[in-house]
Amino acid sequence: MKQYDVVVIGSGASGGAVAHTLTKAGYKVAVVEKGRLIKREEFTKDELAYCRRDIVTPNLFEEYHVIEEKVDGKWEGTPTYDSGWSFWNGNVVGGSSNFMSGMLHRMHPDDFRLKSKYGAIKGANVVDWPISYDEMEPYYLKAEELVGISGKYEKHPYEPPRSTADFTQPPTQENAVVKLLDKSCAELNIKSLVTPRSVLSQNKGHRKACYYSNFCGSYGCSSGAKGSSREALLMPALASGNLTLLSNTYVKSLHTSKKEAVDYAVVVDVLTGKEKQLYADLFVVAAQAHESARLLLNSASEFHPNGLANSSGELGKNLIFSAGGSGQGELHADKLKEIRFEELMQTGLFVNRSILDWYFIDHWWDGTFKGGSVEFMFEHQNIISRARKNSEENGQLVWGKALGEKLTERFTKQKSIRFEIFNDWLPNDNCFVSLDKTHKDKYGMPVGRLRVEAHPQDLKVGKYIAEKCEKVLEEMGAQNIYSSVSSSPPQNLIAGGCRFGDDPKTSVLNRYCQAHDVPNLFVADASFMPTGGSVPYTWTIYANAFRVADHIVKVLKEKQI
């Protein structure tokens, strides 16, 4: 009856890392992805297609979520087909890793012991991780080498320690604006650091170096430079002959005929509607945090009446996002310092600068609390969206010659530089995913109902850092500076819902992301994370999935499943 050694559900960063490891070890693996395979040569920089028509995510009238937010003190749920607020991210082979900007950081050692470091916070469900940074470090390195992360290590109090002296690839090319940014930071006694980026600066195997298209984030890469799961992991896994890639295949549920094991996955061919079963010794869920929790909740049975692997009652709880915000300022030709305007306007080159100075705040005048990280970049270069921002004046649309002059000024006389803040989204009782009781997707399965509420501390930290960043832009000579820190979550950074831990009563997974209740079930995506740190999750997702995969190899060898 068995068709595969392992079935992996989801082909993003975590699914790709697991598949790569297992196929290289000689195991027969099926990766199931509900989206289609887009080949490298098919990717374009079509703003209408990728950023305005969502061709790589489902139609919200067929597959959607219900988002609960508090309105006048009461929780109200709105289907995303009404709000247009999509919580899908790159439902194609390789997942959202195809479309990321690739700004990656390791979590700091203290992120693994947040409660021990800073203590409990009222209203937040903060816990220490069951593993340490030292256990994860070799896998950060593995991800760096296999996925391809370029950068330059610089010693800094809040830069996590490395077991190697530097990155295997030098940083990607930088715009001259970094001279102005670095000098401005130095004037403010701030240390600017080179951003590690999951973009190749040099050729690597079958992948070509970055060609600096000027359109990176939100778009697939047609040179293979971006460290997507598809390019870096799934293509080599396919070359091994041990991987079966089942694209256009939707997983409805995982079936159990006894309490301790999953028997098979119930899947549907998206193109034909035909349903079938996939059998394996072991199953790995890697569908993105909120969808992984939803799948397990939809897999309830007589043995698991409250959802698969949910004896703790913790499944779906403590969903986390990335807190923070963003800001922006304009560098104008007539006020520019340090560099020539022609250098600033050179397209395609990265800003590649991060600030970690406020990762932990421990000053007697500011207090002691967990802070966050900052990334600097140019505003997204999408032409249509930039033009739309300048098509109004005093609340009225601008037309004809006036619009042309306004756009000419906007596109040729200035360039906007922005910052993005990443700080912890504290897990709390009012941020979770459950099943909606009335709404179902086109496959007849209950959709995920996400209740979203941020902890007040998240906003406090974000606003604190935003004020610091505005001063950096002021020092650079930027004009029309503003920032926005909101409790509204970014739907591209979702974690939690299947928290790991050593106690089966308070966690869904053990330290190897193996379900406490069901030994042949693992969850490898960001849903394992009890806290998210103050950096984008992607490098940690890759690293942890490699760690989990190594353990799965041991389990398969010992047949202790």
Q: What is the pLDDT of residues 521-546, one digit of tens each?
A: 999 999 999 999 999 999 999 999 99
Buried b (16+ CB within 10 A) or exposed e, 34-69: bbeebebeebebebeebbeebebbbebeebbbbbbb
Other Cβ atoms within 10 Å of 271 Cβ, number: 10
Please indicate whether residue 549 or residue 409 has the higher confidence score (pLDDT).
Answer: 549
Other Cβ atoms within 10 Å of 310 Cβ, number: 23
On whether the CB atoms of residues 540 and 547 are closer than 8 A, the answer is: no
On whether the CB atoms of residues 402 and 100 are closer than 8 A, the answer is: no
We find that the CATH architecture of domain 1-64+90-102+105-148+201-321+426-431+499-561 is 3-Layer(bba) Sandwich (3.50)
In whole angstroms, give the CA distance from residue 503 to residue 538.
26
In whole angstroms, give the CA distance from residue 196 to residue 151.
4
- pTM more than 0.85: yes
Q: What is the pLDDT of residues 485-526, one digit of tens each?
A: 998 888 889 999 999 999 999 999 999 999 999 999 999 999
In whole angstroms, give the CA distance from residue 439 to residue 445.
8
pLDDT of res. 53: 85
From the DSSP assignment, how many helices (H) and strands (E) are in the chain? 14, 21
In whole angstroms, give the CA distance from residue 70 to residue 452.
8
Name the CA dihedral angle for 511, 516, 521, 527, rounded to a multiple of 10 degrees.
Answer: -60
pLDDT over 70 (residue 561): no
Q: What is the pLDDT of residues 266-317, one digit of tens each?
A: 999 999 999 999 999 999 999 999 999 999 999 999 999 999 999 999 999 9
Q: How far is CA 152 from CA 53, 167, 176, 202, 533, in A?
A: 37, 6, 17, 14, 21
460 backbone dihedrals φ, ψ, rounded to 5°: -60, -45
pLDDT of res. 282: 98
pLDDT of res. 505: 98
> What is residue 309's DSSP assignment?
T
State the SS3 of 505-535: CCCCECCCCEECCCCCEEECCHHHCCCCCCC
Q: What is the pLDDT of residues 78-124, one digit of tens each?
A: 999 999 999 999 999 999 999 999 999 999 999 999 999 989 999 99
In 3D, which of 381, 433, 438 has the Cα closest to residue 410?
A: 381
Estimate to the nearest angstrom the gap between the alpha carbon of 183 and the chain centroid: 31
Q: What is the pLDDT of residues 396-407, one digit of tens each?
A: 888 889 889 888
What are the structure tokens assigned to 164, written together? 């190697």
Among 257-271, 329-343, 355-369, where is mean pLDDT lowest? 355-369
Helix, strand, coil percentages for the chain (3-state, nearest 5): 30, 25, 45
pLDDT of res. 560: 52
In whole angstroms, give the CA distance from residue 198 to residue 148.
6
245 Rama sector, left if φ>0, alpha if ψ -120 to 50, beta otherwise: beta
Angle between helices 538-558 and 13-24 (to 10 degrees): 30
Using a pLDDT cut of 70, give the percent of the chain over it.
Answer: 100
| Average confidence (pLDDT) over 214-223 | 94
Those residues with Cβ within 8 angstroms of residue 88's Cβ, 6 or more apart along the chain or in another chain: 54, 57, 58, 63
pLDDT of res. 454: 95
Average pLDDT, the chain: 95
Domain assignments of the chain as residue spans, ordered by start: 1-64+90-102+105-148+201-321+426-431+499-561, 169-197+322-424+455-488
pLDDT of res. 388: 86
In whole angstroms, give the CA distance from residue 157 to residue 421.
19
pLDDT of res. 389: 83
Q: What is the pLDDT of residues 16-49, one digit of tens each?
A: 999 999 999 999 999 999 999 999 999 999 999 9
Furthest CA-CA distance within the chain: 74
Q: Is 258 helix (H, G, I), strand (E, B) or coil?
A: strand
